[in-house]
Amino acid sequence: MQLPGPIIVLQQNEYSGANYKSLKFKGEDNLEKAWRKRLYIPVTFLLEKKSKKQAAVVYLCGLSY
């Protein structure tokens, strides 16, 4: 399985699972109802205390906190 481009870039720059998450939910649509069930996952990840390097990944995703 080939990894998506952004994930390869993150791994090449020594980011790990502590810095980013790439999750796939089999059988789930990319619709509001499905997102409502799993919104806590990215919110919890983004609100965890992070080092400066970890915070950079959040910025690359277009999100800030």
Q: What is the pLDDT of residue 24?
A: 76
Instruction: Tell me whether residue 4 is in a domain.
Output: no
Instruction: Tell me whether residue 41 is in a domain.
Output: yes
Instruction: Tell me whether residue 63 is in a domain.
Output: yes
pTM above 0.85, yes or no: no
Instruction: Tell me whether residue 40 is in a domain.
Output: yes
Cβ neighbours of 19 (radius 10 Å):
19
Model confidence pLDDT, tens digit, residues 2-33: 556 766 777 777 776 677 777 777 888 778 88
Say which amino acid occupies 48: E
| Number of folded domains that form the chain | 1
Interatomic CA distance for residues 3 and 60, integer angstroms? 18
Residue 36 has pLDDT above 70, yes or no: yes
Instruction: Tell me whether residue 19 is in a domain.
Output: no
State which residues form the domain around 33.
24-65
- Reported confidence tier of residue 63, pLDDT bands at 50, 70, 90: very low
Instruction: Tell me whether residue 44 is in a domain.
Output: yes
